[in-house]
Each structure stands twice: as structure tokens, then as C-alpha cells.
Amino acid sequence: MMDWSDRHCRYFHRLLSRHALLYTEMVTTGALIHGDVERHLRFNAQEHPVALQLGGSEPADLAHCARLGEQWGYDEININCGCPSERVQRGAFGACLMAEPKLVADCVKAMVDVVAVPVTVKHRIGIDRQENYDFVRDFVGTISEAGCKTFIVHARNAWLKGLSPKENREVPPLRYELVHRLKRDFPQLTICINGGIATTEQVQAQLLQVDGVMIGREAYHNPWWLASWDEALFGAQGHGVSREEVELQMCDYMVQQSVQHGTAFSAIARHMLGLRHGLAGSRRWRQVWSDHRLKALLPHEVMALAHNSLEQAA
């Protein structure tokens, strides 16, 4: 979810579900150690609960960054051992770390030793054409001994060569049964599943086998789905707001961010372009919100134009 689940996206998603745990995009240890910490770690208090996902492979660096994450108020620190991109591989982290479980264990222990919030691991079921269940079982077993109690498992292998990151999300087959088997073999651990899950019914079916479900692309492209989660999945009262009310709240937020940080509204609006997914006129509505010729207008004025386009399309 690099460049997708930034703080503006998470603020938007929190308007739709009060209970879902939100994750940051992956932040590398180098970016935090050598870059602008505030730019990478600043978030809105409304986002809680929110987890910081780190990318790195040096135990001391990860410990330092985990401590920063806790100081900034994140509720969980997650290490990414699932990203297959070549850029990430060049940094010796992401999915290639699955080949070095002892190093990952050292990284986890270094973080667990310095923070009180949970340290979790996001990973794949295997790398390249390694399809033996023992591989992922031993990986989880080794890391759990270092103090990690929660594993978020993308139920596909990561092919480190020959596939793009996009293809790595689609070409390697989904093997949910391996994640289910992990839960049976490690009943004391929290095992969450990720990959290809796009309906409430699919989530509910998975929750009969594992402890949690992580949703990525579908939550981004069809965000209104989140509006049903509190009631359907958490047994809580729904938020009771309409798409239009959420859009208006986002306009207020865009104005606030412009005043406080000089953020262009287009950098925020891009995250809500799926809000009317599947509805009549949604294409024209998206076009208005994406029209850079309107960048000089206030967000509320753009919203009015977008809804005029809906009326004209009706």
C-alpha cells in the first residue's frame, strides 16, 4: 500500500469504520533515521487504533524506529516481510527477509525489548517457488520465539524475480489452507489472513478459521464497504452517516490541512475517489474531483460541482 494508505487515506477510512485497525504505508528505517521524522510519522488522533509498518533489516535501526513509533503514539509496530518489489529487495528487506528467519527474530526481539506496544510481522506463505508448508511454519515458529504474537499472512508466495509487485498480488495462487494450518499449529498466536478477500461473506468465512482479516486493495477501491464493518464484523452500532456526509467531512478536513500544512486538496481527494463506486454517475463525479483545473477552488465548491454533475447525469 505504498503511496496509498497515507494519513489522509487513513483519516478517510476512519470516518467509515470506528473499529478497524488501520496500517500506515511502509516506512523505511532509513527514511526515519536520515529523513523528516514528523513528515513520516505525523498522524491524526482520530486514526486510532493505527499501526506503524516499518521496512528494514538492521535490528538496532528497527529498535530505534519502533521506539520513535511508540513515542509518536502508534498502537502497534509492524515489520514488513512481504513486499516483493526489487527496490525493497535492494534494501535487503521485505519478502526476501523470509529467507533469513533468524535475522527477523533478532529484529523482532530488538523491537520487543524497547517498546510496550505489540510488535507484529506481515509476511507471505513462501518465496519464489518454495511451496513447502514447512517453510512458513518454521518461519513463524522462529519469529514467535523472539516475542512476536501476531502474524498477518498474505496467502500467496512472493516471487522475487520475474514478476512485478502488481503481478505478485495476482499471479501466485492463493493458498488459504496454509494460513488456516498455521492457526491450527500455533493456536496460541494471533493469525490474520490477507489476499483476495473482497466481500463481507468471505471475511466472515475466514474468521471461522483465523483470528483476523487484513483488507488492502478492495478497501481502497471500494471504501464504502468499510461503512458496514462495525455492525457486520465488530457487533457494534453502525456509523449512520451517508456518503454525502462523509464527503462533506472530508471537505472540512481538506480545508484544515490546507490551512495547517499547506496541503493541496487533490492530495487528499484522490483517496476518496472510490466513495461512489458502483453508483450511477460515479465516473463523472470522479472526473470533477480529479480535475486539476479546479485546484484554485475550495473543496466545498468542488463538491458542489461534483454533485451538480450527478444531477445532470440522472
Closest CA to 107 of 83, 143, 74: 143
Instruction: Report in angstroms the alpha-carbon separations of 138 from 93, 96, 186.
Output: 19, 15, 11
Element (DSSP H or E) covering residue 58: none
Task: Name the one residue in this structure whose C-alpha cell is 526489487.
Answer: 86
Other CB atoms within 10 A of residue 300 CB: 14
Instruction: Report in angstroms the alpha-carbon separations of 134 from 131, 141, 166, 190.
Output: 9, 10, 27, 19
Catalytic residue among 83, 148, 192, 251: 83
208 DSSP 8-state letter: T
83 catalytic? Reply is yes
Cα(148)–Cα(107) distance, integer angstroms: 10
Cα(302)–Cα(52) distance, integer angstroms: 33
Provide the annotated active-site residues: 83
